[in-house]
Amino acid sequence: MSNMATGSPSLAADAGKGAQLAQQWCASCHVIGGAPPQTALQGPPSFRAVARGRLAADQLQAFLTRPHGSKMDDLIAYIGTLR
């Protein structure tokens, strides 16, 4: 079973902190929480689209580490809450 299904990729992950990180680091490129704007969204997927995608938590960790370069457990825990 994927850890993403539980909303927590590790025991130390904090979804609340992940939500804060998303607003601080990601909101300039991604739709973070609620519904996207009425116009067509181009560019990076929304966090809700990522959450509803097919990547398991470990796959999402590997994907996020390449472009962003650090552990993203809190952010992945937050994304898991958007399912």
Please say whether the beta carbons of 10 and 3 come within 8 A. yes
Which of 62, 63, 60 shows the shortest CA–CA distance to 76? 60
Residue 35 lies in a domain: no
Proportion of the chain above pLDDT 90, given as a percent: 13
Nearest CA to 18 out of 59, 57, 73, 60 is that of 73
Which of 19-28, 44-53, 64-73 has the lowest average pLDDT? 64-73
pLDDT score for 54:
87
State the pTM of this model: 0.69
State which residues form the domain around 51: 12-30+44-81
Count of domains observed in the chain: 1
pLDDT, tens only, 25-59: 888 888 887 655 545 556 788 888 888 998 888 88
In a domain, 59, yes or no: yes
Is residue 36 domain-resident?
A: no
Mean pLDDT on 57-80: 82
| 73 in a structural domain | yes
